[in-house]
Structure 1
Amino acid sequence: MTFVRLPAVALLLAFAAPGSAFAEDNGHGPEIAAQSWSFAPPFGTYDRAQLQRGYRVYKDICANCHSMRLLSYRNLGEPGGPEFSPKAVEVLASQAQITDGPDDKGQMFQRPGRPADHFRSPYPNEQAARAAHKGALPPDLSVMAKARPGGPDYLYALLTGYREPPEGFDLAKGMHYNEAFPGHQIAMRNPLVDGAIQYTDGTKPTVDNYARDVSAFLMWAAEPKLEERHKLGARVMIFLLVFAVIMYLAKRAVWSRLHARDHAHTA
């Protein structure tokens, strides 16, 4: 696996709130194209292989700057998610060095991660994170897919939206042109390049697949119970359909008796 380390401003600016100091919004946000997702309502489900690939993209790229404090490594093996095997979850957790303690001497120490640990944050505290990003705090990605209008469609569009600026566009120094970002100017360079991560399941290592996979993974992180909600919705719809049929038949039975009685009285 190829490990890609991004510069200090990396993904922080990619997920910065529209209208921030990093972009000029003219009041009309860019049009975000709707993508085809396996988890789309009303009955969609997550693609397990896609979520596993998306975790790899997050781990090797996004995790250099962003935390996911609401997730634990054990969540990667739970039903409805990537569903890594218990052994794989242990291995993934052990790859992170977690600060623990104090020990018998009152000292903090580093140890391999365990499945029960929360995802390791790239910085020990908020102050360190701000210092590394010139005062800006990298947002946590746990619910990012639900926090931005367009959700995974926006994340995908952002990560694949880097282009050369059109002729006549006034691009500020140090900024990059992005079709999906409000104002089209973003301080982060393109974080994804073809071949940065080698997939092991035969999926092509392209920017399009990286962006699609990590967007799906962030959607699962933000809504891990989506499949349960879809199943509940299906049961409710079936119940309402059956109930409507029963009520229709009951109505016909009641009105047929009333019509028969009225006909007998007028006869």
Structure 2
Amino acid sequence: MEPRLLFLILVGIAIGLSCLAGYWRKKAGEAAFAAALLADKAEDRDRHCRLAVMAGHRDACRMFCFAHPDFYEDRHPLKPFRFRGISVTFYGHYYPSRYKRLLDEEQRGFCRTLYAFKEGENHGIDFFKACMAALPVDTASCHVMFMPCSNWIKYGQRFKRLDWYITTHRKELTSGLYDVDVHSERESLHECKGSERILERNYNITGDIKGKRIIIVDDVFTSGQSLTDYKEEIERCGGEVVAAIFYGKTVTVPPLFLIKAHVWGGHIVRAITHEP
């Protein structure tokens, strides 16, 4: 047999075996991911998820990331961080609804409470108290202002009970619910995608906030774009923004190859050290 023909045959066999291995690797990943979704125990879910990640399953990578946010997040619930010169804290990690099936029950439960807060069905007092206690700044005599929503109805529904709580139970604070006039409707910023996230201002600050120390309250921190815009408008009106608190922060998903590398690295270390 001619060497060239033999070479082509061997290349063909190698390609065929590679495709076959890739096919079964994909099937193994799908099976492990399905097992992770159905697992009742956290340790079983994690084990199957790791196997699916090692097989290259993309949704399994995201599931693993969500199950271990401390591995990939540098900002954590009720741990204040600095952003644009102010102290910011949040109550818990928020996961967009498109990832619902990848979450455990505790994560789904938190997202449900956040959605209820957005719709005015959850008063948010527990979130407010916890975040205020976590802030490293002196909150006495601060003026609380609420992030304008897409329309005035949602603005009132979302924050009216926090306004009641502040005015009746937190005498060291004042509420700025009525300092803002939401005069028109705009698209929700959280419904925009990527570079399309352009905040159309639909409000005016009508209250006298000159010289006041301001704490901003909002539902979700993602890029910080809306916080930056609102902070600049408050400061243009003479207020000083000292802090901001959020019910949730959108979880950060790193490049998937980093998650795969993390899981594979852990697997290799366990194999070397003979850990279970």
Q: Report which of the two has the higher share of helix.
A: 2
Q: Which has the higher contact order (CA 8 A, sep 6+)?
A: 1
Higher-strand-fraction structure = 2
